[in-house]
Amino acid sequence: MIVFQDVSLVYPNGVHALTEISLTVARGEFLFLVGSSGQGKSSLLKCVNREVRPTEGEVIVDGHGLGDLRPRAIPFLRRKVGVVFQDFKLLHQKTVWENVAYALQVTGASSRDVLRRVPRTLELVGIAHKSKMFPHELSGGEQQRTAIARSLVNNPLILLCDEPTGNLDPDTSSEIMALLARINAKGTTMIVATHNQAIVDRMRRRVVRLVNGRIARDEERGRYHVGLG
């Protein structure tokens, strides 16, 4: 589903964010991307939706090399690849319903489609009862559920989550990760960049660790740190 072939990324300021990354993520896989701040996690995720372009190597998403993707094709890529952030990035003047509906409307969806898909998605993430609320009226966990609904409403093949629990308390973090696991179980390929050691250790999924822009570890059923327990 996602293939990195010898990908390196040097930002215009000369920072080597990624170096010779080779990685294959299968359809339906759930992968934790770990590593301390500044090791390249966000940069790797940004290569998947072509927010940044590698300096070298190729990223292949759903069979398409992103290197020679036409600008016109980028909106289609972005529909296949949902993103969820630490700080939610909701539209503050729109309700929960409107935030999620808007993500569909910008793709040209019919109002019939919107009326069908928005409630279903709100239901799926457990936020349907707050659909008329504004983001500032919600808890952090509820805001993140809304953001996840907004990413999911277009039925993405892939969901990239960049420290999705970074602003949440431990219990809420567990609930959000459980939601991501449920979404993954329905078939969405998932990459979750996280510092949440407790959750990584509990969930025992594939763990890829970045150190200084390189893959330092890649383990099935891994833990946050190697060699513990």
Ligand X SMILES: Nc1ncnc2c1ncn2[C@@H]1O[C@H](COP(=O)(O)OP(=O)(O)O)[C@@H](O)[C@H]1O
Give the DSSP H or E segment for 198: helix 197-203
38 touching ligand X, by CB under 6 A: yes
- Minimum CB separation of residue 34 from ligand X in Å reads 9
35 touching ligand X, by CB under 6 A: yes
Buried b / exposed e over 25-62, threshold 16 CB at 10 Å, is beeebbbbbbbeeebbbbbbbbbbbbebebeebebebe
Closest CA to 161 of 77, 69, 49: 49
- Minimum CB separation of residue 59 from ligand X in Å reads 15
Q: Backbone phi, then psi, for 95, in 5-degree steps? A: -75, 175
Stretch that binds Mg ion, among 39-47, 68-76, 110-118, 203-211 (CB under 5 A): 39-47
Stretch that binds Mg ion, among 42-50, 98-106, 125-133, 174-182 (CB under 5 A): 42-50
173 touching ligand X, by CB under 6 A: no
- Minimum CB separation of residue 38 from Mg ion in Å reads 8
Q: Can you tell me the distance from the alpha carbon of 143 to that of 84, in angstroms, rounded to the nearest whole number?
A: 11
42 touching Mg ion, by CB under 5 A: yes
Supply 93's token pair. 């003047």
List 19, 39, 99, 151, residue binding ligand X (CB under 6 A): 39
List 43, 86, 144, 189, residue binding ligand X (CB under 6 A): 43
Binding mask 10-29 for ligand X (x = CB under 6 A): -x-x-x-x------------
Q: Give strand pairing partners of 31.
A: 191, 206
How many binding residues for ligand X (CB under 6 A)? 12
Considering all CA atoms of the chain, what is the largest pairwise distance in Å, rounded to the nearest integer? 53
Q: Backbone phi, then psi, for 14, in 5-degree steps? A: 95, -5
List 21, 25, 34, 40, residue binding ligand X (CB under 6 A): 40
Stretch that binds Mg ion, among 40-48, 95-103, 124-132, 206-214 (CB under 5 A): 40-48
Q: Which does 109 bind (CB under 5 to 8 A by kind): ligand X, Mg ion, none?
A: none
Q: Which does 75 bind (CB under 5 to 8 A by kind): Mg ion, ligand X, none?
A: none
- Minimum CB separation of residue 222 from ligand X in Å reads 17
Residues 6+ positions from 223 with CB-CB distance below 8 Å: 200, 201, 204, 207, 229
Question: Tell me, what amino acid is at 173?
Answer: S
Task: Please answer whether residues 165 and 191 qualify as being in contact, where contact means their C-beta atoms are separated by less than 8 angstroms.
Answer: no
The residue ranges that bind ligand X (CB under 6 A) are: 11, 13, 15, 17, 35, 37-43
